[in-house]
Amino acid sequence: MTILVIGGAGFIGGNFVLDWLAAGDEAVIKVDKLTYAGNLDTLQSLQGDTRHLFVRADIGDREVIGQLLAEHKPRAVVNFAAESHVDRSIHGPGDFIQTNVVGTFNLLESVRAYWNELPADEKAAFRFLHVSTDEVYGTLAANDPPFSETNTYEPNSPYSASKAASDHLVRAWHHTYGLPVLTTNCSNNYGPYHFPEKLIPRVILNALNGKPLPIYGDGQQIRDWLYVKDHCSAIRRVLEAGTVGETYNVGGWNEKANLDVVKTICSLLDELQPRADAQGYAEQITYVTDRPGHDRRYAIDARKLERELGWKPAETFESGIRKTAE
């Protein structure tokens, strides 16, 4: 058996492929355009592993994706491919619309054509899993309950709007064409192979390189953090047992203000690799102008995934951030 992973050279997709191959015998065909965010080093340890094939292609390349589907006959397609950085979406939204919206549409059409031709038993067993974000729900006030699967979509950035559009396309391909889809909406991830433009890896690298640790605005924006390996285990579980057409929120009940995350990393680095001048790394914190339209708070209610599929994260924020800093 084989699965097709789109965007498998990115942060989460790379971790997912590693975990997938470590957990079982099924082969993985990994497709990725290798944008600035793609990193094949993630998969160095797989060299020589014949269960793994990498193909460089765009999510929207119907010819290549169609050929791969026809040749390898995967039982599932998991889509991680996206432009994923909010700041970049503010400065240049075009790529986000092209990859996240038009790309997802083209991928759905490639998969639908393949799925339509499968024998009845394989057709029934096939799954298309779309990986998405909690940012589609918009922002929460301090006292609001966390986002559940029934929250309305209120995306505020070009990134989250493009992801919301992709989620709607996936939903429509199920309701209109019967494609057996699953969607996961996850909170902020962190962990190995995270691209250094994101908060946690940037803070670690800047701290160790003696550079400023930039904090947007007052640093009181709240995010709900999940160790990337826990996100991967959730996706595996949803793929295995999720109900077709359903969406599942994924989160670790770890709401933290950005400033507290940065201070936690500074304390860990003070312990693991103290500065030569014996000052704390928190000395390097610098406040910078806030991001336009910056959502104030995200928080995920992951009880559906726990109740229906028995998934729970293995890491707390404290254990996961220590592993990441180490």
State the residues that interact with ligand NAD by CB under 6 A. Answer: 7, 9-13, 32-35, 37-38, 58-59, 80-84, 99, 103, 131-133, 163, 186, 188-189, 195
- Contact yes or no for 235/311 (Cβ under 8 A): no
CB 6, min distance to ligand NAD, A: 6
Closest CB to ligand NAD among 61 and 284?
61
Q: Which of 179, 249, 258 is nearest to 215 (CA)?
A: 258
Q: How far is the CB of 243 from ligand NAD (least distance, A)?
A: 20
Position closest to ligand NAD via CB: 10
As measured in angstroms, the least distance from the Cβ of 99 to ligand NAD is 4
Judged by CB, which is closer to ligand NAD: 124, or 205? 205
**What's the min distance (Å) between Cβ of 42 and ligand NAD?**
9
**Nearer of residues 156 and 284 to ligand NAD, judged by Cβ:** 156
Please list the active-site residues: 134-135, 159
Q: Which C-beta is closer to ligand NAD: that of 20 or that of 80?
A: 80
For ligand NAD, the closer CB: 80 or 115: 80
Strands 27-32, 2-6: pairing kind: parallel
Burial, 162: exposed, middle or buried (Cβ in 10 Å; 0-12, 13-18, 19+)?
Answer: buried
Is the Cβ of residue 87 or residue 270 nearer to ligand NAD in the bound state? Answer: 87
User: Min. distance of Cβ 227 from ligand NAD in angstroms?
Assistant: 11
Shortest Å, Cβ 253 to ligand NAD: 15
